[in-house]
Amino acid sequence: MNTLGELERAVMEVLWDRPEPVAVRDVARALADRDLAYTTVMTVLNRLTKKGFVQRHLDGRAWYYRPTESRESYIAHLMLDALSLTGDRDAALTHFVRSVSTPEARVISEALAEKRRKGKK
């Protein structure tokens, strides 16, 4: 899986926080505190398009961008990639589960129960 650089991640955060497709100028405005040139934001969005993180469509003279997957899906992919770095996935998973909070463990248990239910159909 492709990973995101720091500026790419900041741009993706803007896109993930918006329910509708976003124009380059709106992303640049949202990142105004970084003092980025419009062309820099446009280059980052083009790079994200090539990497498959965003889709774009032309409306008039402006390109509009939206994420191809959710923030949660991206983070899940990162977690799975991290698991692939170990020689012992079972041990890494066990260590992870032992380190989560009780509410997080409950969420994991519920997700596993749902997976089992769907697997039986």
DSSP the chain: -----HHHHHHHHHHHT-SS-EEHHHHHHHTGGG---HHHHHHHHHHHHHHTSEEEEEETTEEEEEESS-HHHHHHHHHHHHHTTSS-HHHHHHHHHHHS-HHHHHHHHHHHHHHHHHHT-
Give me the CATH code for the 6-67 domain, please: 1.10.10.10
Residue 1 confidence (pLDDT): 63
Domain boundary assignment for the chain: 6-67, 71-119
Residue 121 confidence (pLDDT): 59
**pTM of the entire predicted model:** 0.83
% of residues, the chain, pLDDT over 70: 98
Phi, psi (5° rounding) for residue 65? Answer: -120, 145
pLDDT tens digit string along 82-121?
998 988 999 999 999 999 999 999 999 999 999 999 887 5
